[in-house]
Amino acid sequence: MMIEVLTLFPELFPGPLSGGVTGRGLAAGLLDLRLHNLRDYTHDRHRQVDDIPYGGGAGMVLKPEPIFEAVRARTGNGPVILLTPQGELLNQSLVRNLAGYDDLYLICGRYEGVDERVATDLVDRQISIGDYVLTGGELPAMVLIDAVSRLVAGVLGSEASPKDESFDHDLLEYPHYTRPAVFEGHAVPEVLLSGHHAEIERWRRSQAAERTRRRRPDLLDRLQR
Ligand code: 4HQ
């Protein structure tokens, strides 16, 4: 899978993507991360990427021309995605959908964001990683790349199995334990030491359901609809 990123800070990448599962995917060429510096798509002496907002107000807005030019120069044909708090919330079902493309093109804003015509007339989707305000779209892009790339065939080794996991059955994960059987006075639940596989399975299902009900009732509401 090829993932292109348009950013004012290409040096932030691969950053945390260079380690672990994603790092191996990149090294093996299963993931092809291509960075584009927004400033390279300007043509004026000052290489200006931003301008003051029409109507006044604080901060600067990214100009449309360099962003349109960069996207029009791309070779891929998968979706063009803008990372923005105004977008649809990223969840595992959206991640699965995105993992089905051969390529993605991610646009990272800075300052107050991008000229609205980028959102209305250039991009295919707007995606948010959560309801908080960051300084730029680069960390959201890395979050999206991490989540998508672990589903790309071959990127995932034995560290995780994308089948039996949180959100793949729309519930939180059951609790996991490893040795020692007693740590600082806290024992591993008896059933897990029993070797009784049917009982263990039943216990894990009920733990997953109960912690979802307590911690994330919104996930259960979504299931009922
Ligand atoms: N941004 N999910 C980029 C975010 C954000 C988010 C704020 C996007 C700053 C310029 N992006 N602008 N949350 O906080 O995607």
Distance CA 206, CA 214 (A): 12
Quote the ligand 1 centre to 133 CA distance (angstroms).
6
Residues 4 and 101: beta-carbon distance below 8 Å: no
Look at residue 120 and give its three-state secondary structure.
helix
Quote the ligand 1 centre to 118 CA distance (angstroms).
15
Q: Residue 6's pLDDT is what?
A: 99
Distance CA 142, CA 138 (A): 6
Asked if pLDDT for residue 172 goes beyond 60, the answer is yes
For 91-178, strand residue ranges (E) read: 103-108, 125-128
Distance CA 154, CA 194 (A): 34
Task: Return the minimum-mean-pLDDT range out of 45-49, 159-163, 195-199, 219-223.
Answer: 159-163
- Cβ of 131 closer than 6 Å to ligand 1, yes or no, is no
Residue 109 has phi, psi (to 5 degrees) of: -85, 170
Q: Which atom of ligand 1 is nearest to the CA of 127?
A: 15
The candidate with the shortest Cα–Cα distance to 90, out of 125, 114, 65, is 125
122 Cβ contact list (under 8 Å, min separation 6)? 64, 67, 68, 71, 80
Q: Is the peptide bond before 140 cis (omega within 30 degrees of 0)?
A: no
Q: Give the model's confidence band at 160: pLDDT under 50 very low, under 70 low, under 90 confident, else very high.
A: low
- Cβ of 63 closer than 6 Å to ligand 1, yes or no, is no
What integer best gives the mean pLDDT of the chain? 95
Q: Give the model's confidence band at 225: pLDDT under 50 very low, under 70 low, under 90 confident, else very high.
A: low
- Per residue in 122-148, pLDDT (tens digit) is 999 999 999 999 999 999 999 999 999
- Cβ of 136 closer than 6 Å to ligand 1, yes or no, is yes
- Per residue in 27-81, pLDDT (tens digit) is 999 999 999 999 999 999 999 999 999 999 999 999 999 999 999 999 999 999 9
| Largest Cα–Cα separation, the chain | 72
CB atoms within 10 A of CB 54: 8
Token pair 């051969």 is found at 102
- Cβ of 140 closer than 6 Å to ligand 1, yes or no, is yes
Tally DSSP H helices, then E strands, for the chain: 8, 9
Distance CA 53, CA 137 (A): 19
125: β partners = 81
Quote the ligand 1 centre to 125 CA distance (angstroms).
14
Q: Residue 170's pLDDT is what?
A: 87
